[in-house]
Structure 1
Amino acid sequence: MVNREVLPFETEPVSLKNVVSKYLKYWHLFVLSLLLCMGLAYVYLLYATPEYSIVSTIQIKDDKKDPGAAKADAFNDLDIFASTKNIHNEIEVLKAKSLMYRVLSELSMNASYFVEGPIKAKEVYVNYLPIKVAVRQFNPLAYDNQRIAINLEDKNTFTLKDAFGVKAYKIGQEIVKPYATFTVQPNLIAPASDIKYIEVKFNNLTKLANSYNSKLEVAPITKETNVLSITLTDAVPEKGKDIVNKLIEVYNKEAIEDKNSIATNTVQFIDARLRDLTGELSDVEKNVEKYRSQHALTDVQAEARLSLNNASEYTKSLTDWDVQINVLTSLENYLRRSGSRYGLAPSNLNIKDPTLLELVTRFNALQLERQRMLRTTQPDNPLVQNINEQLANLQTTMLENLKNIKGGLVIARNQLRSNLAQNTSRIQQVPSMERDLLEINRQQSIKQALYQYLLQKREESALSLAASVSISRVIDAPAAGDDPVKPKKPLIFFLAFVVGVGLPFAFVFIKDSFNERVQEFKDVELITAAPLLGEISHNDTRETLVVTDKSRSLVAELFRHNRANLQLATLGQDNKVILVTSSMAGEGKTFFSLNLASSLALAGKKVAVLDFDLRKSGLTQNLGIPNEKGISNYLASEVSSIDDILVSLQTVSGLYAIGSGPTPYNPAELILSPKVNEMMEELRERFDHIVLDTSPVGQVADALSLSPYIDSTIYLMRYNYTFKDQVNIIEDIYKNNKLKNLMMVMNDAKKLKGYGSYGYGYTEEKKVSWKMKYKNRANA
């Protein structure tokens, strides 16, 4: 005996065409998404406020590198003209919020102005409006981000509309509201304009400064230069240019103020010390005059000249040391004053010790930082308190350092005095009066030298105040671009296109990824190796029997294809009893069984279709024939002859049907009755083909009980209905041969194109190749 095994036909591999075809089924979704996203992008661009980029470049001057800086010998040791700028520090200063707040305050940006546009209100710079609002007091808590409307009646009157109603006022009249106290003034610098209706929004300068600060970009042009690029984006180019100009101006102004603050404090310190020295020097000169007058001293003895010359050298050295000690003593006394705690220490007193000079510089820098913070914060702010602690620590350190330096100088001075005493001992002949006069002259020279030194430094500090220049130079004045930088129309439309395509793509991908039902035959063939008999397209009609001698519909032709494939698959084999089952109800078993039987009958065969679903009958209901007697009656021996339950269908010649009969209480056991074998043997003798419409094998085991009586099995699946997990049932049946000659049929395939070109549910224009392969096997 020879058996022929049907192998699965070859299917097309996954290709770009298949993937594209999968998404082209949803072309209307892509078109709708693109139209929607492009429309939203267009609407967004209509209502979006365009912003323009304002760019300016400045050069930060370096006093040590700038050939134009002061180079006179008189300023060589003056710290104010000997600073080196750190470009990164200056960038942070320009981006400081406090600096931007001062800019907006000086520009009176307390209010923004809007006029009616074709689509929405448009902001206009105040310089182009006939009026301006001068805000004297503003309460942001009462009226933040709210607008008032001003309607100009004539040159002298206007009406104001706000949350409190509409009221008329005169130009120049002070208006007191809970949210602000302001005056509407005529704008004398504005050109002639016919604007009558203006909306005004009051601005919280702190929030506005934060907003502008976030849009401000300051960056060096290159790493090797001190040239900075300042970029600001604003919806009103003219306003943006004014802000950048004012920013540079205020930046220079604050730098000059810092310099002048140091110079002013130095001048005040020197003036106080000069007043003291003037009195002391006058007293010494009077003492000299009195001493000479009392002792009639006119000349020094000739024999003591050499020793006196040596003593003079020692005296000169002592004078230098005493000058330094006095300078340090004066600085120490200044630091110990209670009023100097938050005052700048003099930094240009020719302090030679580098450590002390660095401490003084740091002390002054912290003082300046504290003064800058106090402009915008309270004295009890933690940052201010932290600087206060640092200042106190630095003051203590400087006093300790002064004490140590002065101690070393005193030791050196005492050594000089000892040398002077030794020299004095060699001039025993010099009268004691001359020695007294020498001591007085020495005190006079010390005070005179200190007086001249302080007087020179005072002039230098005064010159620094008079010679204050800006620390930056504008290279390119602020200029706005012709085209807005925000929003970028090409980018917006590109993103809208990407989103418009991406959303449907993502929807289809996620839908398919999370869809647990069979979408295409690929979902089946990845799980089971069972062969595919064919496919049935979607039935658009409500008719149950679509295969008749006159039908030429697509569904009828596909049933004829399946009939031909079934004959090829069982060529040379006895294929009388065909069992039709599925995984669950609703997959079209009854529809397929009836129309397959009809297609076999139209081929000249005598065919019987049996409703072996004893639990839920559907065949007789679809055919419109009575079901009072059927298979359940025959198996229960309630009827003795098959003819009693056999019904001839007049629609198709040679087609007969047997209903299931009344639902029994034990359908599973009834199918195991020996009467089933008797009925099948008799039907085999009387009919060419017997089609068994059975219960879903994925839900009950009734169909498996009929396995001994069948020749082949058709397992029905339905696109977008059968679960992918249920394909494992087919693989189990096929692999373990629980039902003979199992073949699959895919039901409810969707039509893609005109008659003759159908994808059969998985690819466009894909034709199922019905070239079956046979493999002969010899059974022992």
Structure 2
Amino acid sequence: MNQRDLNSGKADGKDIRKIISGYLKYWYFFLIGICICVGLAFLYLRYKAVPQYRVNSTLLIRDKDKGEGASNFESFGDLGLIKPSRNVQDEMGILLSVGLMEEVVRELDLQVGYFLPGQFDDVQVYVKDLPIIVNIIDSSIRPGTSLAIKLRDDESFQLRENREDESGNFTVHRFDEVVQKSYGTFKVKRNTDNPVSKIEGTISVEIQAVESMADIYSSKLSVEPVNETGSLLSLSLLDPLPERGKDIMKKLIEVYSEKSLDYRNQLAMNTINMIDERLALLTDELTNVEKNVEDYKQRNELTNVSSDAELFLRRASESNSQLADYQTQIDVLNSIESYLQEKGDNAPLVPSSLNIEDPTLVSLISRLNELQLKKRSLLRTTPGDNPLIVELNQQLADLRTSALENLKNIKGGLLIAQRNLRQNSRQYEHQVRKVPAAERQLLAINREQSTNQDLYLYLLQKREEEALALAAPISNMRIVDAPRAGGIPVSPNKTSVYLGALIFGLFLPFSVVYAKERINDKVQTRMDIEEYTDATILGEIAYNKEKEVLVAKEEKSTPVAELFRLIRFNLKFVSAGRKNKTILITSGSQGEGKTFFSINLGSSLASSGKKVIVLSFDLRAPKLMRDVGLSDEFGISNYLIDDQLQVKDLIIPSPHSDNLFFIGSGAIPPNPGELMLNDKIGVLLKELEDEFDYVIIDSAPIGRVADAFALAPCADSTIYVVRQNYTKKSDLKIIQDILTNNKVNRPMVVLNGTKSKEAYAYGYGQKQAHISRKTVNA
């Protein structure tokens, strides 16, 4: 039989439903965890959590406007003195800077926090909702200072230095009075927008460092571009007091705009001062340059020397160009001459005269090429000594001589013209060199004069632009959406908090149960058996709630009795027609219920009409006969040592069933291990097999002693009893070892003492019993 579980087949993996049911049995833990966590979440949201409101605003940063002078720093950029950044990302960094937020904190006195008594804790309020305002005079006041203020009347108030010190004494002060203490100097003013009668009780005041408050609000501020290509910025701020958040956002935008304008105005003033200084220097330089030009022309008696020099240069350039043309023609003539000097039948054709415009030479070359082509044509069909060929050779020689003579005359004329032109070119160059080098100095002076003049005009223009920008400053920022606060808090998110509490309320019991199951080394379910061994699982026996040992009686239909009947069927099914008369019952240790199982399995088999005998072979700690209420005076140990005793002398019938019989263990021997090796055991079992349909052996625990192994060869099958929440998982390795090494015949496992619904057959036993009673009554 290859099945591990006769009821459900071989398990390929863990049954998810069983895993879930293993946790559902602790449903009350999960319910308690959920109730506690959700309750704590409710208390946190109701009394501890501080609602946060989001304040939003939208700004437009004009970073590429033209013609604004100092507003977009064009003057400095053009002068190359500074490269101002007009990037939207840089403006975002400025808005998020802690330094800018420190200015906001100082101007709004945000380092001073106000609190009123609440139901469970003090509640923070905004200064606009209070009748008083605390002004810090000494900027070095100690951070963490706390005050308690009670209003007396319209003119005075009471002050206590530590708001948490209930035993402290109050001192009386008047409004607008400068209060000097060891921790700093301050004064309390009346807030005329709120009458004194509106506030009753103590107003708590906490003073923090400006830097720490700036860090807090900077971390709550978010600046992001509305889109990737535009210059719109979205500003967002979280604050528990929406009115305070709006004031912070407004003041931040105001301070940012003022700082930007101050920086641009300062930059414009510095630019104007620098331009004025530079203009003064340029004025002196221009005067000196103009005087130098005048003196130079008078000294060298110059009018317009540059135009004469240009004429000489042009003529020299023309002469050089003609010289190049002549040289090209001479080179062409030299090339033609080389062609004309080649003779013979394979003499190449003379190329055209190219740019040589002599008609005689052109005519001679053309006639020479014609005769050469004619000669080549005749040589294909006529021998070289033919009179026609000889005559053509004579004509070709005459033509070459004439062409060479003509070429020589042309070439001589070109050389003469080239020589004369070269002489003229030298004269022009000499005339150019005669132009005084001082002319170049005059050009340099004029160039300096022009540069200074252009720079002077440019600086005048920029100075006017900076002056106009300073007179009418324009901010590069425009408010698109004014700061406004949402009416619904965005934090804490109640849905998220309750969902987190629900998840944690489930996770905490789950973790405890999981840890408990992981730490528990006892067998809990059938899956534990399947995990450690491949042996066949014969079935499960429900926990016996009754006090009696014999529960599988014929007249009973309890869940335990029904499960024994199911195991009886499985035992028959697992035999599959093979011999299975002798069944060895064992376990890993005492207390796992092997004796209880042996008795009731025998009773269940007997109720089916089979003749069954149960043997108490646990010679070390016998309890079978005591459990069934029979005498254990004579038994197996007596039989093994006394040859006079017969097997029939040991058999005791059961008082509960006609087909059930027992054999006790007898007196406890001093050497049970050696006694188990007695050959009479085989004789005993053979005689019992001949007389009974089933022989059930209740042996000693196989995990503690070797007695059961001595009986194993005589048994057709072995049932290993495992008890829920009692047998250690490590003991299951014994079963796998037995199965792997074939130490016993057909090992099977029974899970005893289970409390799951599956073990109770989902109430089938009770229902069946009810039907049986109805049938009997009928």
Q: What interval of TM-score do these two structures reach, taking the shorter chain for normalisation?
A: 0.5 to 0.7
Partner Cα separation in structure 2 for residue 70 and residue 600 of structure 1: 106
Partner Cα separation in structure 2 for residue 172 and residue 466 of structure 1: 40
Q: 1:747 aligns with which of 727, 749, 752?
A: 752
Answer yes or no: is 1:11 the counterpart of 2:8.
Answer: yes
Aligned CA distance change for structure 1 residues 668 and 174 (closer, same or farther; 3 Å) = farther
Structure 1 residues 189-228: Cα deviation after superposition (integer angstroms, max 9, x where no partner)? 3467622232222222211111111111111111222111
Partner Cα separation in structure 1 for residue 80 and residue 451 of structure 2: 25
Q: Amino acid of the residue matched to residue 419 of structure 1?
A: L
Answer yes or no: is 1:183 the counterpart of 2:191.
Answer: no
Which is worse superposed, 467-476 or 67-76? 67-76
Structure 1 residues 35-90: Cα deviation after superposition (integer angstroms, max 9, x where no partner)? 33322322232221111111111111235348899899999978999966111111
Give the structure 2 partner of residue 694 of structure 1.
699
Give the structure 1 partner of residue 591 of structure 2.
586
Partner Cα separation in structure 1 for residue 212 and residue 273 of structure 2: 40
Aligned CA distance change for structure 1 residues 154 and 646 (closer, same or farther; 3 Å) = farther
Structure 1 residues 639-671: Cα deviation after superposition (integer angstroms, max 9, x where no partner)? 956688766665666655555456555432221
Which is worse superposed, 566-575 or 480-489? 566-575
Give the structure 1 partner of residue 681 of structure 2.
676
Tell me, what secondary structure is at the counterpart of 2:135? Answer: strand
Which is worse superposed, 544-553 or 507-516? 507-516
Aligned CA distance change for structure 1 residues 449 and 57 (closer, same or farther; 3 Å) = closer
Q: Amino acid of the residue matched to residue 154 of structure 1?
A: D
Give the structure 2 partner of residue 27 of structure 1.
27
Give the structure 2 partner of residue 99 of structure 1.
100
Partner Cα separation in structure 1 for residue 627 and residue 79 of structure 2: 112
Native 8 Å contact 1:583 1:722 kept in 2 = yes
Answer yes or no: is 1:168 the counterpart of 2:165.
Answer: no
Q: State the Cα distance separating 1:153 from its structure 2 match.
A: 3.4
Native 8 Å contact 1:70 1:81 kept in 2 = no
Native 8 Å contact 2:65 2:72 kept in 1 = no
Partner Cα separation in structure 1 for residue 74 and residue 528 of structure 2: 93
Q: Which of the two has higher C-alpha Rg?
A: 2
Q: 1:612 aligns with which of 602, 612, 617?
A: 617
Which is worse superposed, 611-620 or 84-93? 611-620
Structure 1 residues 669-719: Cα deviation after superposition (integer angstroms, max 9, x where no partner)? 221122423443555566554322222223432211102332332222234
Aligned CA distance change for structure 1 residues 631 and 179 (closer, same or farther; 3 Å) = farther
Partner Cα separation in structure 2 for residue 525 and residue 422 of structure 1: 107
Q: Amino acid of the residue matched to residue 32 of structure 1?
A: I
Q: Amino acid of the residue matched to residue 88 of structure 1?
A: Q
Which is worse superposed, 460-469 or 708-717? 460-469
Native 8 Å contact 1:610 1:659 kept in 2 = yes
Q: 2:549 aligns with which of 524, 527, 544?
A: 544
Native 8 Å contact 2:541 2:750 kept in 1 = yes
Q: State the Cα distance separating 1:471 from its structure 2 match.
A: 2.4
Q: State the Cα distance separating 1:488 from its structure 2 match.
A: 1.3
Native 8 Å contact 1:128 1:191 kept in 2 = no
Q: State the Cα distance separating 1:598 from its structure 2 match.
A: 3.2
Aligned CA distance change for structure 1 residues 230 and 448 (closer, same or farther; 3 Å) = closer
Partner Cα separation in structure 2 for residue 137 and residue 645 of structure 1: 110
Answer yes or no: is 1:62 the counterpart of 2:63.
Answer: yes
Native 8 Å contact 1:63 1:81 kept in 2 = no
Aligned CA distance change for structure 1 residues 748 and 448 (closer, same or farther; 3 Å) = closer
Native 8 Å contact 1:620 1:659 kept in 2 = yes
Q: State the Cα distance separating 1:748 from its structure 2 match.
A: 2.2
Q: State the Cα distance separating 1:250 from its structure 2 match.
A: 1.2
Q: Amino acid of the residue matched to residue 167 of structure 1?
A: F
Give the structure 2 partner of residue 41 of structure 1.
41
Aligned CA distance change for structure 1 residues 271 and 700 (closer, same or farther; 3 Å) = same
Which is worse superposed, 655-664 or 253-262? 655-664
Partner Cα separation in structure 1 for residue 253 and residue 553 of structure 2: 93
Aligned CA distance change for structure 1 residues 571 and 448 (closer, same or farther; 3 Å) = closer
Q: Amino acid of the residue matched to residue 252 of structure 1?
A: S
Q: Amino acid of the residue matched to residue 101 of structure 1?
A: E
Give the structure 2 partner of residue 151 of structure 1.
150
Partner Cα separation in structure 2 for residue 239 and residue 539 of structure 1: 72
Q: State the Cα distance separating 1:252 from its structure 2 match.
A: 1.5
Tell me, what secondary structure is at the counterpart of 1:739? Answer: coil
Native 8 Å contact 2:71 2:264 kept in 1 = no
Q: State the Cα distance separating 1:610 from its structure 2 match.
A: 3.0
Aligned CA distance change for structure 1 residues 262 and 550 (closer, same or farther; 3 Å) = same
The aligned length equals 616
Which is worse superposed, 695-704 or 566-575? 566-575
Give the structure 1 partner of residue 713 of structure 2.
708
Q: Give the structure-2-normalised TM-score.
A: 0.66
Aligned CA distance change for structure 1 residues 73 and 677 (closer, same or farther; 3 Å) = closer
Q: Amino acid of the residue matched to residue 166 of structure 1?
A: N
Answer yes or no: is 1:213 the counterpart of 2:218.
Answer: yes
Unaligned runs of 5+ in 1: 289-299, 312-413, 424-441, 761-780
Native 8 Å contact 1:575 1:711 kept in 2 = yes
Partner Cα separation in structure 1 for residue 74 and residue 563 of structure 2: 109
Identity level (%)? 40
Aligned CA distance change for structure 1 residues 640 and 169 (closer, same or farther; 3 Å) = farther
Partner Cα separation in structure 1 for residue 74 and residue 282 of structure 2: 26
Native 8 Å contact 1:139 1:178 kept in 2 = no
Q: State the Cα distance separating 1:480 from its structure 2 match.
A: 0.8
Aligned CA distance change for structure 1 residues 310 and 149 (closer, same or farther; 3 Å) = farther
Give the structure 1 partner of residue 351 of structure 2.
none
Structure 1 residues 563-612: Cα deviation after superposition (integer angstroms, max 9, x where no partner)? 34435555866654321012343332122112223334555666543332
Q: State the Cα distance separating 1:263 from its structure 2 match.
A: 3.2
Partner Cα separation in structure 2 for residue 417 and residue 573 of structure 1: 129
Q: Give the structure-1-normalised TM-score.
A: 0.66
Give the structure 2 partner of residue 566 of structure 1.
571
Partner Cα separation in structure 2 for residue 21 and residue 75 of structure 1: 79
Native 8 Å contact 2:640 2:675 kept in 1 = yes
* Aligned pairs for 1:221-620 within 5 A: 221-268=226-273, 418-419=441-442, 461-504=466-509, 518-525=523-530, 530-548=535-553, 551-567=556-572, 569-570=574-575, 575-603=580-608, 607-619=612-624
Q: State the Cα distance separating 1:498 from its structure 2 match.
A: 3.5
Which is worse superposed, 746-755 or 641-650? 641-650
Aligned CA distance change for structure 1 residues 714 and 270 (closer, same or farther; 3 Å) = closer
Which is worse superposed, 37-46 or 473-482? 37-46
Q: Amino acid of the residue matched to residue 703 of structure 1?
A: A
Which is worse superposed, 48-57 or 599-608? 599-608
Which is worse superposed, 601-610 or 99-108? 601-610
Q: Amino acid of the residue matched to residue 595 of structure 1?
A: N
Tell me, what secondary structure is at the counterpart of 1:536? Answer: strand
Aligned CA distance change for structure 1 residues 65 and 754 (closer, same or farther; 3 Å) = farther
Native 8 Å contact 2:2 2:536 kept in 1 = no
Give the structure 2 partner of residue 121 of structure 1.
122
Tell me, what secondary structure is at the counterpart of 1:263? Answer: helix
Partner Cα separation in structure 2 for residue 622 and residue 72 of structure 1: 107
Tell me, what secondary structure is at the counterpart of 2:133? Answer: strand
Partner Cα separation in structure 1 for residue 134 and residue 299 of structure 2: 85
Q: Which has the higher helix share?
A: 2
Tell me, what secondary structure is at the counterpart of 1:213? Answer: helix
Q: Amino acid of the residue matched to residue 713 of structure 2?
A: P
Aligned CA distance change for structure 1 residues 490 and 65 (closer, same or farther; 3 Å) = farther
Tell me, what secondary structure is at the counterpart of 1:185? Answer: strand
Q: State the Cα distance separating 1:253 from its structure 2 match.
A: 1.6
Aligned CA distance change for structure 1 residues 568 and 275 (closer, same or farther; 3 Å) = closer
Give the structure 2 partner of residue 330 of structure 1.
none
Q: State the Cα distance separating 1:180 from its structure 2 match.
A: 4.0
Give the structure 2 partner of residue 334 of structure 1.
none
Unaligned runs of 5+ in 2: 306-436, 766-778
Tell me, what secondary structure is at the counterpart of 1:706? Answer: helix
Q: State the Cα distance separating 1:229 from its structure 2 match.
A: 0.8
Q: State the Cα distance separating 1:96 from its structure 2 match.
A: 0.8
Tell me, what secondary structure is at the counterpart of 1:669? Answer: helix
Q: Amino acid of the residue matched to residue 194 of structure 1?
A: K
Partner Cα separation in structure 2 for residue 449 and residue 50 of structure 1: 65
Tell me, what secondary structure is at the counterpart of 1:162? Answer: coil
